[in-house]
Amino acid sequence: MDATAAHYLYAGENGRFGSGGNGGVFLLDLASNTTRTLVPPDNSGQYSLPRFYSDSAIYFTNREPWRIDLNGSNAVRLFPPDK
């Protein structure tokens, strides 16, 4: 939940609870009871472990940390690959 208690950020799951994540990141707006997909599921079997960071979310995909705006745009890798 964010600091204002207006939004809830969560990772998606495949099948029954605890059976593996689908790689997705979702934002629930508690005032309007609507859910926005920030990162579409890729059915990777891994949890994205999202956390709020200012006006964005930090999450993992393919063992790498990423940041995305809460409107679902501007996804950037936090640590660019070595050249």
Each residue's pLDDT tens digit, 51-75: 999 999 999 998 899 999 999 999 9
Going by pLDDT thresholds of 50, 70 and 90, the confidence category of residue 45 is confident
**Residues in the chain, overall count:** 83
Provide the greatest CA pair distance for the chain. 45
Supply the pTM of this predicted model.
0.86
In degrees and rounded to multiples of 5, residue 50 shows phi and psi of -75, 150
**Per-residue pLDDT tens over the stretch 10-43:** 998 876 666 778 899 999 999 999 999 999 998 8
Question: Would you state the pLDDT for residue 33?
Answer: 95
Residue with tokens 């640590």: 79
